[in-house]
Amino acid sequence: MEPTLVPAEVQGKVEAYTQVASEPAPAAVSASAEAESLRQEIISSGRKLWERQYVDGNAGNISARIGQRYLLCTPTRVSKGEMSADDICLSDMEGNILAGNRLRTSELLLHLEIYKGNADARAIVHCHPPYATAFALTGSAPPFGLHSEYETMIGPAAVAPFETPGTRAFAETVRPFVRDHNTIVLSNHGIVCWADTVTHAEWLVETFETYCRTWLIAQQIGRPMQPIPDAKIEEILAIKRRMGLPDSRMV
């Protein structure tokens, strides 16, 4: 008797289902060593954001994927400079809190939109750095093509239109940009950055804020800024391809 041949697309769905179904229960995931390590990374990055004055009060939020079905996220109404491991919640991909004693931030919807739109996004930082947020107030991003580090790590930043924070409409504003940009200016609000780790997402915040500040300082010199030659931009894009970083200029 000949073996039954299963179409590749069906086999792929079966394998994906088996992988998800085999994941531990939420309580086990929340108590795992991986979750504890991610919590400490979130706490460390939150403290850096607060110390750099990229967040004030209880503003900003951080999340990180854990497996295929879950993510860890910061709660609402907690300063990012004063978080403990017990503050970090476990959520599913629909925003339901499965472990933790705090209420989730309403802006978790923003994070979920990015995760669902780009499988490469494993961690997200949303905050309000002053110079970056100054651009957000104008509904614009700083010019690109001028600074090598900025070009390598970020490049053109997207600008999402304003919507009321915390709403589903707000979360959906980033949908067109999540594949080709790792940094998005949220008009009249702040910025959101995604990367493969929480630490790397926080680095993108630092890179973007520093570039915004540097560009504004350079304007005060009173001399034209010198763009990076197109040929050199192509070399930078080649580096980004090797690093697996997104850029809307790459086809």
Residues annotated as part of the active site: 107
Closest CA to 206 of 40, 45, 44: 45
Walk across the sheet containing 190-195 and list its strands. Answer: 97-99, 89-92, 70-73, 61-66, 123-127, 190-195, 183-186, 158-160
d(Cα 194, Cα 122) in Å, to the nearest integer? 7
Closest CA to 234 of 153, 156, 158, 151: 151
23 Cβ contact list (under 8 Å, min separation 6): 29, 67, 68, 69, 70
Burial of residue 47 (number of CB atoms within 10 Å: 0-12, 13-18, 19+): middle
58 near 76, Cβ under 8 Å? yes
- Tell me, rounded to whole angstroms, the distance of Cα 211 from its chain centroid: 18
- Which residues are 63's β-sheet partners? 73, 124
Pairing of strands 70-73, 190-195: unpaired
